Amino acid sequence: MRETQNLHGSAGQFIVFEGIDGTGKSTQISLLASALRQINYQVIETFEPTHGEYGQKIRSLYSNRKTISPSEELELFITDRRQHVQEVILPSLASGKMVLCDRYYLSTAAYQGAAGLDPAEIIARHSFAPTPDLSLIIELDPADCIRRITDNRGDTLNDFEQLESLQKVDGIFREMKLPYIRRINGSVSQQEVHLQVLHHVGSLLSLSELPGFT
């Protein structure tokens, strides 16, 4: 296994994918996981909301969001994350794994921020949560995202995905300024997005000698 160095005091590395719905985060996580496994990293792929007790509660609200207030929703996401951090993220980082996570607290800042709460206060609630080594925000025009969700996946839009609210969420993501954020242009082909991801991960891990990691 490769040895890694990082800033949050654990042996592993923590890479988060963020962005509005339909930007292709989960595809990119699988592609990155395969690329890293090929060069002998131990990789864990995980996601929020989780499939735990609170994540399931959140999912049950997808089609019925108006039944709880934005602050009650915030508490559910934070409680789900506390459990995820304790049970999955910290133990994996402590054992030296590469943790790839689909959404983390910047999603809460953006989505619950769009629902009327203060994004900075939301981020400040996360002192319990390890800071990512890298947050890759995949950016794509909200109208294109909606088109992808409805055309390609054949899905109907859940309450988190309506155009106007996605535009607000997108606006908050675009304003975020944190040292560990890198922005990815999501409007190009999957392979081109993957190359952008490899570029940022390559600089984080000093892998520039390897093909694709430039």
Interface residue list for ligand TYD (CB under 6 A): 21, 48-49, 77, 102-103, 107-108, 111-112, 160-161
Query: Residue 187's Cα: distance from chain center in Å?
Result: 18
Nearer to ligand TYD, 6 or 108 (CB): 108
Q: Count Cα neighbours of 65 within 13 Å in the Cβ-side half-sphere.
A: 15
CA angle 81, 28, 44 (to 5 degrees): 50
As a whole number of angstroms, the longest Cα–Cα distance in the chain is 52
Nearest approach, Cβ of residue 21 and ligand TYD (Å): 5
Q: First-to-last CA distance in the chain?
A: 21
Q: Tell me the residue type at 20.
A: I
**C-beta of 66 vs 211, nearer to ligand TYD:** 66
The residue (of 162 and 208) whose beta carbon lies closer to ligand TYD is: 162
Residues 6 or more apart whose CB falls under 8 angstroms from that of 81 comprise 48, 104, 105, 108, 126, 129
Alpha helices by DSSP H, listed for the chain, are 25-38, 53-60, 70-84, 90-94, 105-114, 119-124, 142-147, 163-175, 190-205
- Kindly tell me which of 95 and 190 has the beta carbon lying closer to ligand TYD: 190
Give the relative orientation of helices 70-84 and 53-60 as an angle to the nearest 10 degrees: 150
Task: Report, in Å, the least distance between residue 149 CB and ligand TYD.
Answer: 9
CB of residue 172 vs ligand TYD: minimum separation in angstroms?
Answer: 11
- Nearest CB to ligand TYD, comparing residues 129 and 205: 129
| Residue 79 CB, nearest approach to ligand TYD (Å) | 11
Q: Which two tokens stand for residue 30?
A: 């699988």
Q: How, if at all, do strands 134-139 and 13-18 pair?
A: parallel
Least spacing, CB of residue 35 vs ligand TYD, in Å = 21
**Minimal distance, residue 212 CB to ligand TYD, in Å:** 26
Q: Which is nearer to ligand TYD, 102 or 133 (CB)?
A: 102
